[in-house]
């Protein structure tokens, strides 16, 4: 009972539960393949005893050789099939694990303080989850072989000589003891190693992204020195893990070698007549001796296989734990799925489009922000202002349905934000972020984000509204230009105007813009302002977080967070 | 293949000794294994025959049994040594390779850097380098050891048993291995490289998805992108399935080969014993040795797939390593020696730049004259003895030594005597600039000068080249035409280290590194102490924020994402102030700040760097009002 409880406590068991059936079948095939070696050993024993002329078997040695070959063929085919099944199992587990991770992380709020660096998630998703593959390919069959093959070999050797069985019986069980000791150390070392890889990669990505700053600050030499240190630390740690791994396999090999050598020496001395015990009614012959000599290494082989798979298991376990911890630490989740939805909320006459009452937000650091109530009627223009750090961005995220308010009420045309209607809710809101991230796709894809509207006329109109059309027309590949990380080749002003065009393209009734005129020169700021206001003129409600007095002056109303700036 | 050679060369250069020793040990391990099983088989059979003949008492069992024990222990110990040695040498070389790669990336021109997507670059540096460990561990060492071992084992087998035995076992085994290794190579290489590419796309796609998550979510595009990524994963796993299938087929072929060769050993044994050219004990030796030899070829199973992955990674990595570096001044050999900076410290710095900074016939002349009286009378250069005087002494010392051909004819004709004695701190001389892939000039024939301690605001509509001009002055870009001078010295001729001491730029977008606040500031100056750190934080009105967040040891999240936009901006500005450079270029320094904070910050900058020459790309009234005068780009 307690054993069962232990097993379900293991994150790896939970992660790979779906693979059990396939792995069980693969394991049986693998066990049968291993046992066929006993037949092959028998063939060779008979054959050699015939060659020495000591055999009472009348069959020709050629027949034994043929049987040896055929059994070998069957064995190879069984092993091949078993490996195929394991691959299918591993593939299915990895597919599920990746999908689960992507689902969870994509819906984690950027305001979640536990949100890991994107490069860390990417590393987990690709190379770390891939560690499950060798584990699933090797561990279960090896484990099944350990449970059965040594026992069968022990029983088969017993009729020949109880001493041989005794040697194997004594040396064999020592192995798991050592293995467990070494395995525990390996697991700990391997966990450290995996963590190190993640942070090294994240640090490297950061430095590569900050390369211009590093150049300007003349910090290249220092950065390189730091990186050299972390690379060499990684090397030391990796070697630490490997030394333990090698040591454990060395222990195994040592036992296996000692076992085989003892069997060889014992049988040799019995055949010479130097030793007179350990056999039953009469001493065994050359054939039997060869037979047990061939079986001795196979007695240890499953243990060695399991030991090397043990390290795969340790690595897989570390990944499974990391996946679970990551999932458990996700405190701030974005409601909804981020799917496509069509806007359909229509405010009743005299009903506000957006209404918030007594909203508060407690930051993870424990600071509680109290937000002023907002009542926005269709077509209204509202500015939210506050000193830096007063919570303008947090309030905007709340209003945009990116966070569920901890207390207070929030309604869009009379509909409260809930888990089920979040996508639908947000479909009414056009969002303009302060520092957009352009995905690795064409300018067109970045503008439409795969949404419904890539109608050429609407695109042209949106680009004109954002006064970025001439610039796009000037690009050699126009809307097919590829954008890179942080919008390469796109200046701050261009990026802002592109997000304005993106927003205009949707035609949504509520516009939320976070500092829409920051980072911009006067002309561009004016252009962005005009663009936003012309959308408001067409009936959209406009809410901006800003500190720009010019933008504020063009709003109907100003709401202040915290004390007056 | 060329890439592979380059990487192999790197291994050879740095770890030749350990690799050779590792290879030797690997061969010894294999030979010990063969000897152990062969000897055991022979011993049993020979002992059995002796027992049958009744001569067991005279049989020399001492040497074989000692041999068996020695081989059993020796093999285990050698194996451990071989593994540690090979892995250590390989991983050390790879650590070195990572550092070399980062260094190579750092030498690249800034524009090229910006084009390289961070996540892709990361893929190269990690996945590719990781894949390269197979070059020694799974290709070079096992193959070399296997070949060596097959030859030695063949010779021993021919000597101890019969040449026919050696020939019949080892020829098919060698030929079979070569076929298994080489035949699927091309297909497997293609599949492996496809799988690798897809995995990298999966990785950068994940980074995109997470970084753009808010926008994707707001526009209902999250599910679509998620599905696309999952589709990418399916493709990647399919490619991997092909690789795995090829590998399993190789494994099957290898198992069949092993069975065939052991059967052959049995058949040859039967034939030779029956024709009385060999004893049964020798036949047993031959068969058991063959069984052990098959262990030699087991690692070859993965070689074909591995080779593809490694060759791909090697070609990408070596391409990155071999890229032409940025034309940096201290590397250009054709530089005339008299233009290199003269650092004679005995020339007393001229600390009163009361002369008109620039009387050249460019359009800024009038304005700079107008602004002369405003020049920072309250400046106290003594505040920063470390940064200022050397810079000015360079200027004084080198200005007369400048050779005429370096200047344009226009400039030399209009240069006045006074200007040669105290050249402007920063001067743009008829600068034109067009982006590399565009013909349209962003800047055309622009000239302007800044006197020491002057603050000049650069204005003009977006896209007129304000940021470009600052990047040109910061040597992140190179002008298509014209010259930029610092203290009269052409920008191109200043060594990188010295140049960065003289000038620093706050770009429009700067990236903060994770780690603590102090670590983040120390990027600009490794020696920065806590007191100085608090001083710069004070200057940018951030000390209260940082104190609330937990002080200098508070941790910043990725790219400073724990802070608001304005806070990030001010921290980046603080990092620039740490440099204490005599020339400050600021690209819209008060972006994202409310008016009150903006004023505080601008005042803080001046207070912190009273003697600095400042060029600010400004769009806010506050920034323009703060400057001594304005230059307009149109």
Q: Predicted confidence band at B350 (pLDDT cuts at 50, 70, 90)?
A: very low
How are strands ordered across the β-sheet holding B455-459? Answer: B503-506, B583-587, B613-617, B455-459, B629-632
Query: Which residues 458-487 of chain B have a CB within 8 Å of chain A?
Result: 459-463, 466-467, 474, 476
Q: CB A216 to CB B283 under 8 A?
A: no
**Cα B253 from Cα B261, distance rounded (Å):** 12
Q: CB B214 to CB A433 under 8 A?
A: yes
**Cα A211 from Cα A488, distance rounded (Å):** 14
Strand ranges for B19-110 from DSSP E: none
Lowest-pLDDT range of A486-495, B191-200, B430-439, B460-469: A486-495
State mean pLDDT over B108-115: 66
Which residues of B fall within a CB distance of 8 Å from A222? 523, 526
- The whole-angstrom distance between residue B544's C-alpha and the CA centroid of its chain comes to 37
Length of chain A: 565
Q: CB A518 to CB B591 under 8 A?
A: yes
Q: Which two tokens stand for residue B94?
A: 């790879």
- Predicted confidence at residue A206, as pLDDT, reads 74
Q: CB A451 to CB B221 under 8 A?
A: yes
Q: CB B224 to CB A340 under 8 A?
A: yes
Q: Which two tokens stand for residue B258?
A: 């092993």
Give the CB-side neighbour count of residue B561, counting CA atoms within 13 A. Answer: 17
Evaluated on CA atoms B86, A247, A239, B313, the torsion sign reads positive
**Cα B290 from Cα A418, distance rounded (Å):** 71
Strand ranges for B173-301 from DSSP E: none
**Cα B417 from Cα B414, distance rounded (Å):** 10
Q: Which two tokens stand for residue A560?
A: 């202040």
**Cα B501 from Cα B516, distance rounded (Å):** 24
Q: Which residue has the tokens 């937990």?
A: B550
Gyration radius of chain A over CA positions: 35
- The answer to whether the CB of A502 falls within 8 A of the CB of B219 is yes
A519 Cβ under 8 Å from any chain B Cβ: yes
**Cα B52 from Cα B372, distance rounded (Å):** 117
Which residues of A fall within a CB distance of 8 Å from B121? 208
State mean pLDDT over B260-275: 94
Q: Which of A85, A187, A91 is nearest to A141 (CA)?
A: A85
pTM here is 0.75
Going residue by residue through chain A (565 aa), what tens digit of pLDDT does each one get? 344 444 567 899 999 998 999 999 999 999 999 999 999 999 999 999 988 887 665 668 899 999 999 999 999 999 999 999 999 999 999 999 999 999 999 888 887 878 888 878 998 998 889 999 999 999 999 999 999 999 999 999 999 999 999 999 888 877 667 667 666 666 666 666 666 666 666 676 777 778 888 888 888 888 888 888 888 887 887 788 778 878 877 887 888 888 889 999 999 999 988 888 888 888 888 999 999 999 998 998 888 888 778 778 888 998 999 999 998 888 788 888 888 888 888 888 788 899 999 999 887 777 888 899 999 998 899 999 888 777 888 899 999 999 888 888 899 988 898 888 899 999 999 999 877 888 888 888 888 886 656 788 888 899 999 888 888 887 777 888 877 654 455 666 788 888 999 999 888 999 999 988 876 666 778 889 999 999 999 889 999 998 888 899 999 999 998 764 4
- Distance from the Cα of B144 to chain A's closest Cα (Å) equals 21
Q: CB A205 to CB B595 under 8 A?
A: no
Q: Which of B92, B262, B462 is nearest residue A235 as measured by Cβ atoms? A: B92
- The answer to whether the CB of A444 falls within 8 A of the CB of A400 is no
Phi, psi for A203 (deg, rounded to 5): -60, -40
- Predicted confidence at residue A494, as pLDDT, reads 80
Q: Which two tokens stand for residue B155?
A: 């010779």
- The answer to whether the CB of B619 falls within 8 A of the CB of A522 is yes
Which residues of B fall within a CB distance of 8 Å from A423? 220
- Predicted confidence at residue B260, as pLDDT, reads 95
Three-class SS of residue A482? strand
The DSSP H or E segment spanning A236 is helix A220-272
Q: Which of A53, A122, A484 is nearest residue B115 as measured by Cβ atoms? A: A484
Closest Cα in chain A to B36: A261
The DSSP H or E segment spanning A360 is strand A354-362
Which residues of B fall within a CB distance of 8 Å from A260? 36, 40, 72
Q: Which residues pair with B556 in a beta bridge?
A: B515
Three-class SS of residue B584? strand
Q: CB B83 to CB A246 under 8 A?
A: yes
Q: CB A205 to CB B575 under 8 A?
A: no
- Distance from the Cα of B506 to chain A's closest Cα (Å) equals 8
Which residues of A fall within a CB distance of 8 Å from B561? 110
CB < 8 Å & 24+ apart, contacts of B104-107:
B104/B320, B104/B321, B104/B323, B104/B325, B105/A208, B105/A211, B105/B320, B106/A211, B106/A214, B106/A215, B106/A220, B106/A223, B106/A224, B107/B323, B107/B325, B107/B326, B107/B328
Disruptive mutation site among B39, B47, B202 for chain A (greatest number of A CBs within 10 Å): B47
- Predicted confidence at residue B438, as pLDDT, reads 65
Three-class SS of residue B241? helix
Q: Which two tokens stand for residue B406?
A: 């370096």
Q: CB B117 to CB A488 under 8 A?
A: yes
Identify which has the larger pLDDT, B417 or B627: B627
- The answer to whether the CB of A552 falls within 8 A of the CB of A529 is no
Query: Which residues 580-599 of chain B have a CB within 8 Å of chain A?
Result: 588, 591-597
Q: Which of B96, B476, B520, B117 is nearest to A224 (CA)?
A: B96
Q: Predicted confidence band at B595 (pLDDT cuts at 50, 70, 90)?
A: confident
Query: Which residues 191-220 of chain B have a CB within 8 Å of chain A?
Result: 199, 202-220
Q: CB A246 to CB B233 under 8 A?
A: no
**Cα A521 from Cα A164, distance rounded (Å):** 89
- Predicted confidence at residue A89, as pLDDT, reads 96
Q: CB B106 to CB A524 under 8 A?
A: no
The DSSP H or E segment spanning A99 is helix A61-106
Q: Which two tokens stand for residue B208?
A: 């995109």
Q: Which of B48, B241, B283 is nearest residue A87 as measured by Cβ atoms? A: B241
Evaluated on CA atoms B228, B233, B236, B237, the torsion sign reads negative
Which residues of A fall within a CB distance of 8 Å from B472? none
**Cα B17 from Cα B14, distance rounded (Å):** 8
Three-class SS of residue A237? helix
Q: What is the ipTM of this complex?
A: 0.85
Closest Cα in chain B to A73: B256
pLDDT in tens, B23-80: 999 999 999 999 999 999 999 999 999 888 887 778 888 899 999 999 999 999 999 9
- The answer to whether the CB of A396 falls within 8 A of the CB of A558 is no
Let me know if A539 is exposed, middle or buried by CB neighbors in 10 A (0-12, 13-18, 19+): exposed
The angle subtended at Cα B111 by Cα B108 and Cα B116, nearest 5°, is 75
- Distance from the Cα of B302 to chain A's closest Cα (Å) equals 13
Strand ranges for A41-163 from DSSP E: none
Three-class SS of residue B250? helix
Please name the residues in contact with B326: beta carbons below 8 A apart, sequence gap of 6 or more.
Answer: B107, B108, B109, B110
**Cα A543 from Cα A503, distance rounded (Å):** 13
Disruptive mutation site among B55, B107, B214 for chain A (greatest number of A CBs within 10 Å): B214
B60-88 as b/e: b if 16+ CB within 10 A: ebeebbebbbebbebbbebbbbbbbbbbb
Query: For chain B, what is the mean pLDDT?
Result: 80
A218 Cβ under 8 Å from any chain B Cβ: yes
Question: How many cross-chain Cβ pairs, A to B, lie less than 8 Å apart?
Answer: 482
Which residues of A fall within a CB distance of 8 Å from B540? none
Three-class SS of residue B523? coil
Q: Which two tokens stand for residue A550?
A: 């010019």
Q: Which of B561, B515, B566 is nearest to A111 (CA)?
A: B561
Identify which has the larger pLDDT, A104 or B414: A104
- The answer to whether the CB of A84 falls within 8 A of the CB of B248 is yes
The DSSP H or E segment spanning B309 is helix B303-321
Question: If phi over 0 gives left and psi between -120 and 50 gives alpha, with beta otherwise, what is residue A389?
Answer: left
Three-class SS of residue A325? helix
């Amino acid at each position: 009972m307690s054993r069962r409880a232990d097993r379900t406590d293991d994150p790896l068991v939970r992660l790979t539960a779906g693979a059990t059936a396939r792995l069980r079948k693969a394991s049986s095939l693998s066990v049968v393949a291993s046992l066929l070696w006993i037949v092959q050993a028998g063939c060779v024993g008979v054959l050699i005893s015939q060659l020495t002329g000591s055999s009472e078997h009348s069959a020709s040695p050629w027949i034994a050789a043929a049987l040896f070959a055929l059994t070998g063929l069957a064995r190879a085919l069984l092993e091949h099939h078993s490996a195929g099944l394991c691959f299918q199992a591993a593939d299915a587990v990895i597919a599920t694990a990746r999908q689960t991770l992507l689902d969870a992380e994509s819906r984690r709020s950027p305001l979640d303080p536990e949100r890991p660096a994107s490069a860390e998630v990417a590393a987990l998703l690709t190379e770390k989850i891939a560690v499950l593959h060798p584990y699933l390919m090797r561990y279960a069959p090896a484990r099944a072989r350990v449970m059965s093959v040594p026992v069968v070999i022990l029983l088969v050797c017993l009729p020949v000589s109880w001493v041989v069985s005794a040697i194997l019986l004594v040396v064999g069980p020592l192995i798991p003891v050592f293995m467990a000791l070494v395995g525990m150390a390996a697991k700990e070392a391997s966990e450290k190693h995996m963590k190190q890889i993640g942070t090294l990669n994240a640090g490297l990505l950061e430095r590569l992204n900050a390369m211009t700053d590093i150049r300007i600050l003349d910090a290249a030499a220092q950065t390189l020195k730091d990186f050299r240190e972390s690379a060499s630390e990684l090397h030391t740690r990796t070697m630490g893990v490997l030394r333990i791994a090698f040591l454990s396999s060395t222990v195994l090999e040592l036992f296996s070698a000692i076992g085989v050598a003892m069997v060889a020496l014992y049988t040799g001395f019995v055949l010479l007549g130097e030793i007179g015990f350990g056999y039953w009614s009469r001493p065994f012959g050359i054939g039997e001796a060869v037979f047990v000599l061939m079986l001795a290494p196979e007695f240890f082989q499953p243990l060695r296989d399991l030991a090397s798979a043990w390290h795969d298991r340790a690595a897989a376990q570390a990944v499974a734990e990391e996946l679970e911890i990551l999932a458990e630490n996700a405190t701030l989740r974005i409601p909804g799925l981020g799917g496509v939805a069509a806007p359909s909320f229509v405010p009743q006459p005299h009903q506000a489009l957006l209404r918030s009452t007594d909203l508060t937000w407690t930051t993870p650091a424990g600071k509680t922000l109290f937000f002023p109530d907002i009542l926005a009627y269709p077509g209204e223009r509202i500015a939210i202002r506050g000193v830096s750090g007063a919570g303008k961005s947090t309030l905007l995220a709340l209003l945009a349905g990116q966070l569920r308010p901890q207390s207070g009420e929030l309604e869009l045309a009379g509909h409260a934000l809930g888990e089920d209607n979040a996508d639908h809710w947000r479909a009414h809101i056009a969002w303009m972020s302060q520092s957009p991230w352009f995905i690795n796709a064409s300018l067109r894809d970045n503008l439409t984000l795969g949404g419904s509207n890539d109608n050429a006329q609407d695109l042209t109109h949106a680009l004109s509204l954002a006064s970025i059309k001439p610039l796009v027309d000037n690009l050699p590949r126009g809307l097919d230009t590829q954008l890179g990380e942080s919008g390469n080749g796109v200046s701050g002003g261009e990026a802002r105007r592109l997000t304005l065009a993106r927003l205009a393209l949707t035609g949504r009734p509520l516009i939320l813009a976070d500092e829409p005129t920051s980072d911009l020169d006067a002309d561009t700021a004016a252009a962005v302002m005009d663009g936003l206001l012309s959308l408001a003129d067409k009936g959209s409600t406009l809410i901006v977080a800003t500190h720009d007095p010019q933008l504020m002056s063009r709003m109907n109303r100003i709401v202040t967070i915290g004390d007056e700036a | 293949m060329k890439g592979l050679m380059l990487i192999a060369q790197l291994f050879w250069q740095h770890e030749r000794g350990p690799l050779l020793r590792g290879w030797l040990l690997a061969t010894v391990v294999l030979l010990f294994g063969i000897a152990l099983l062969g000897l055991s088989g022979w011993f049993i059979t020979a002992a059995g025959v002796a027992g049958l003949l009744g001569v067991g008492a005279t049989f020399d069992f001492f040497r074989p049994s000692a041999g068996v024990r020695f081989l059993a222990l020796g093999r285990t110990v050698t194996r451990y040594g071989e593994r540690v040695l090979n892995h250590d040498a390989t991983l050390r070389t790879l650590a070195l390779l990572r550092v070399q790669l980062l260094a190579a990336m750092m030498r690249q021109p800034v524009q090229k850097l910006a084009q390289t997507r961070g996540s892709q670059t990361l893929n190269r540096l990690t996945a590719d380098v990781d894949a390269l460990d197979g070059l020694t561990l799974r290709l070079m060492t096992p193959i070399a050891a296997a070949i060596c071992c097959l030859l030695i084992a063949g010779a021993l087998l021919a000597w101890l048993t019969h040449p026919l035995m050696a020939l019949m076992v080892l020829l098919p085994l060698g030929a079979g291995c070569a076929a298994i290794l080489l035949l699927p190579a091309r297909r497997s290489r293609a599949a492996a490289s496809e799988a690798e590419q897809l995995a990298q796309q999966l990785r950068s796609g994940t980074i995109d998805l997470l970084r753009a998550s808010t926008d994707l979510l707001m526009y209902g595009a999250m599910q679509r992108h998620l599905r696309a990524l999952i589709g990418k994963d399916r493709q990647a796993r399919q490619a991997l399935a092909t690789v795995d299938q090829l590998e399993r087929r190789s494994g099957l072929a290898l198992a069949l080969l092993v069975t065939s060769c052991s059967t052959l050993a049995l058949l040859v044994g039967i034939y030779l014993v029956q024709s009385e050219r060999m004893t049964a004990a020798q036949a047993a030796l031959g068969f058991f040795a063959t069984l052990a030899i098959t262990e030699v070829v087991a690692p070859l199973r993965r070689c074909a797939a591995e080779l593809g992955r490694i060759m791909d990674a090697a070609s990408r990595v070596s391409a990155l390593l071999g890229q032409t570096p940025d034309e940096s001044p201290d590397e250009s050999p054709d530089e005339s020696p008299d233009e290199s900076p003269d650092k004679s410290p005995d020339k007393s710095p001229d600390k009163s730049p009361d002369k008109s900074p620039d009387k050249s016939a460019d359009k800024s002349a009038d304005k700079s004259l107008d602004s002369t009286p405003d020049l920072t009378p309250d400046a106290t250069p003594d505040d920063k003895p470390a940064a200022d005087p050397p810079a000015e002494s360079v200027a004084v010392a080198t200005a007369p030594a400048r050779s005429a051909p370096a200047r344009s004819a226009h400039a030399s004709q209009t240069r006045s005597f006074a200007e040669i004695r105290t050249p402007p701190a920063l001067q743009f001389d008829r600068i034109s600039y067009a982006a590399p892939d565009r013909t349209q000039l962003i800047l055309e024939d622009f000239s302007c000068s800044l006197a020491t301690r002057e603050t000049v605001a650069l204005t003009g509509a977006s896209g007129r080249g304000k940021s470009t001009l600052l990047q040109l002055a910061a040597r992140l870009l190179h002008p298509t035409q014209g010259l930029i001078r610092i203290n009269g010295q052409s920008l191109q001729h200043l060594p990188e280290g010295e140049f960065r001491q003289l000038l620093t730029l706050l770009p429009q977008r700067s990236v903060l590194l994770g780690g603590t606040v102090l670590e983040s500031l120390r990027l600009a100056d490794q020696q920065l102490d806590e007191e100085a750190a608090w001083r710069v934080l004070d200057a940018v009105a951030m000390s209260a924020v940082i104190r609330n967040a937990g002080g200098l040891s508070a941790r910043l999240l990725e790219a400073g994402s724990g802070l608001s936009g304005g806070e990030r901006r001010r921290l980046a500005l603080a990092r620039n102030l740490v440099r204490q450079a005599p020339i400050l270029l600021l690209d819209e320094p008060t972006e994202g700040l409310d008016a009150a904070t903006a004023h505080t910050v601008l005042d803080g900058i001046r207070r912190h760097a009273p003697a600095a020459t400042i060029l600010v790309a400004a769009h806010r009234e506050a920034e323009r009002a703060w400057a001594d005068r304005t230059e307009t780009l149109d």
